[in-house]
Structure 1
Amino acid sequence: MRGARFSVGRGEVVAVTGQSGSGKSSLLYCLAGVLPVARGEVRFEGRALGELSDDEVSTLRRERFGFVFQYGELLPELTVEENTALPLRLAGRRKGPALAAAGEVLERLGLGGLRERRPSQVSGGQSQRVAVARALVHRPAVVFADEPTGSLDSANASAVLAEFLGLARSQGTAVVLVTHDPAVAAQADRRYSMADGALSPEEPV
């Protein structure tokens, strides 16, 4: 990747656009500490991820970062509520308080009536809303979203995106999302385009 230099602040939404194979997903996973960077560095709250131990990076991903993927990636054996509470449980929160916090986020996203259902019992749009709830339930510092509405039709995509970004901004969570959809990128505070591994800022419209 070349020219991949940018920062994201609290409650800010940054979008990276580009065609398939342009390198935007690789950039996202480097920022999240999933992939190592060959040159340069990724810093979070003043610390370079490359200087942290594997355990420290894992703790960051578990407690300070959230993730939304194109197809939700919910665990089929868990209920909607249990899927949502998973980041809290992994961070050591007791089951009762974790489920209560999950229920509050699900209510805010209009999913309170689906708590006991399994992922196979909800629609695609509902499933992606659950993925958003799971990403935000532990109030992470930043959420990394890889084509978060790519599997949805336009109506569901617009609704899910609005709820996702609205909730993230309200709780001060930064969002870095990659997308090939100009309509999705238009909802960001700042936009970058990626082509052949090179990142360039887009002028505001």
Structure 2
Amino acid sequence: MSETLVAKDVDLFYGASQAVKRASILLRRGEIAAITGPSGSGKSSLLYCLAGVLPASQGEIRFEGRPFNELDDDELSTLRRDRFGFVFQYGELLPELTVEENAALPLRLAGQRKRAALAAAGEVLGRLGLSELRERRPSQVSGGQSQRVAVARALVHRPAVVFADEPTGSLDSANASAVLDEFLTLARSQGTAVLIVTHDPDVAARADSRYSMVDGVLTTQGPVGS
């Protein structure tokens, strides 16, 4: 698998407080990686650095060989919009849009015509078992269904990387397992790399490679089964 995202010796400071300490990570095309650790350990801070949302204080992050620090703000915004996808713990769907419109949002933001964007969203929603809910609003679907919509939105534009921050943390175990199954199956079929931040060892066990983070220090646990 080719290297997609590489970080080397990344530090992140919030004022005088250091949230991430010399973290290094390698993510390849189609790979599922998980970062586990207790709350407040720096997992989400590192995720947002790797996604280009927070600027690293020190170190280097490269996407497909190009360092983030060579990109201006517009280029970085375009990268996040077009090449990255995001899944958050609570879905964070827009309440004024339908399920289908929420799923199509990345394509619409990238300038795709509405009809084509909705058709693409409908296809992904169908693969996630949500075809019958396309016209509903987020308030009219369950938590598990809402999280499936968030997965569809993250994958509809076939991104190179999806960053998932506790994507099943708000769900019961049955829904969490179902959402994770669909998420990872669809991501793998598209060749999308996925980086999951989680405190749940059962979620991490589904990954190809695992990392642990404690007090800002990232430790490689290696491939599953190693």
TM-score by length of 1: 0.99
Distance in 2 between the 1:143 and 1:158 partners? 18
Trace 1:15-164 onto structure 2 (pairs within 5 A): 15-164=34-183
Letter in 1 for 2:215: D
8 Å Cα contact 2:210-2:220 kept in structure 1: yes
DSSP-derived class of the 1:156 partner: helix
Distance in 2 between the 1:5 and 1:53 partners? 23
The structure with higher relative contact order (CA 8 Å, sep 6+) is: 1
Gaps of 5+ in 1: none
Query: Number of paired residues?
Result: 205
Distance in 1 between the 2:56 and 2:116 partners? 37
Which of 174, 188, 192 matches 2:211?
192
Gaps of 5+ in 2: 1-19
Letter in 2 for 1:61: R
8 Å Cα contact 1:41-1:49 kept in structure 2: yes
DSSP-derived class of the 1:4 partner: strand
8 Å Cα contact 2:22-2:59 kept in structure 1: no
Q: For 1:156-204, what per-residue CA distance to the aligned partner results, in whole angstroms no more than 9, with x for missing partners?
A: 0000001000000000000001000000000000000000000001144
TM-score by length of 2: 0.90
Q: For 1:89-145, what per-residue CA distance to the aligned partner results, in whole angstroms no more than 9, with x for missing partners?
A: 000000000000000000000000000000000000000000000000000000000
Distance in 2 between the 1:158 and 1:104 partners? 22
Letter in 1 for 2:195: V
Q: For 1:67-106, what per-residue CA distance to the aligned partner results, in whole angstroms no more than 9, with x for missing partners?
A: 0000000000000000000000000000000000000000
